[in-house]
Amino acid sequence: MEKWPIGVFASVDAGLGIHLPVAHELGISTVQLHAPHGPSRSPQHAERFLAEIKKYHITLTAVFGGFDGESYADIPTVEQTVGLVPKATRAARLAEMKEIANFAKLLHCHVVALHLGFVPHDRQSADYREVVVVTQELCDFVAKMGQKLHLETGQETAEALVQFIDDVQRPNLFVNFDPANMILYGTGEPIAALEQLGKRVHSVHCKDANWAKNPGKEWGKEMPLGEGEVDFKKYLMTLKKIGYRGPLTIEREIPQEPERQKMEIAGAVTLLKRLRDELLDTPTI
């Protein structure tokens, strides 16, 4: 694969991504896919999807898990509803993540990813230990199929995420870095966080955001790429510095406005291509 191919977050019938024909129209060569709903994870649906990406010359680079009942309404709601952390739904969602990994295998995809949720802060607590154990179980399950697990950033500081990954101790556990999420959740300056996560970063989102007035207490605001407070030139320079070679997957989460979503993703493609060409031509920075 070329270095830093442009990607986009895509959806079939669940999640906030764009549909494949739109990705194709925008000339995008890779996608991360939000896992479709259960009934759409059949071998027949997988075949259809594979035929579609082949037709469009698109490479699938990751399948993202997401669950019914998750809400990103505000930070406390995320804490209560997102990922494998909430206890009431943990077992069912672990089982569903395994199904999603099976579906990813049908799609010949070697990366599954998710928002794990807010990892408890006290490393000595039983709650923390339980989240470590459930993550280990998921890593071991996907490892048997030759897959890696990528954790989306946002809910943790880079430091806490490094510590958590070290505690899980699995060789197939990595990070999907999202600079905008660091700002939206108020968990740290994105460039410094990316440097700190370094080699653990095996996939990235290109999304922009503005800081909230009270970071960590209220949401920041997602912005069109290039209009927010992520410095994309520095972001790409830092990706180069840490040796990241994978896709630059654009995420713009406004599916309620599909025309605007498409237009703003097109703008992001142009900006990223320009920066990429500039930086890849520079041997040392």
Q: What is the number of the residue whose Cβ is closest to Mg ion?
A: 178
Q: Where are the beta strands (DSSP E) in 65-109?
A: none
Provide, rounded to whole angstroms, the least separation between the CB of residue 169 and Mg ion: 25
In the complex with Mg ion, the residue whose CB is nearer, 28 or 46, is 28
Provide, rounded to whole angstroms, the least separation between the CB of residue 178 and Mg ion: 4
Crossing angle for the helix pair 232-241 and 190-197, to the nearest 10 degrees = 10
Residue 202, classed as helix, strand or coil, is strand
Tokens (6 digits) for 179: 């600079």
Tokens (6 digits) for 61: 């680079």
Interatomic CA distance for residues 113 and 32, integer angstroms? 9
End-to-end CA distance of the chain: 23
Provide, rounded to whole angstroms, the least separation between the CB of residue 230 and Mg ion: 12
In the complex with Mg ion, the residue whose CB is nearer, 156 or 251, is 251
Residues 6+ apart with CB under 8 A from 181: 152, 153, 154, 187, 205, 207, 209
In the complex with Mg ion, the residue whose CB is nearer, 124 or 256, is 256
Name the one residue in this structure whose structure tokens are 């993540």.
97
Provide, rounded to whole angstroms, the least separation between the CB of residue 123 and Mg ion: 26
In the complex with Mg ion, the residue whose CB is nearer, 46 or 246, is 246
In the complex with Mg ion, the residue whose CB is nearer, 109 or 184, is 184
**Contact (CB, 8 A) for 179 and 150:** no
Task: Catalog residues that contact Mg ion under the rule CB under 5 A.
Answer: 178, 205, 251
Provide, rounded to whole angstroms, the least separation between the CB of residue 153 and Mg ion: 8
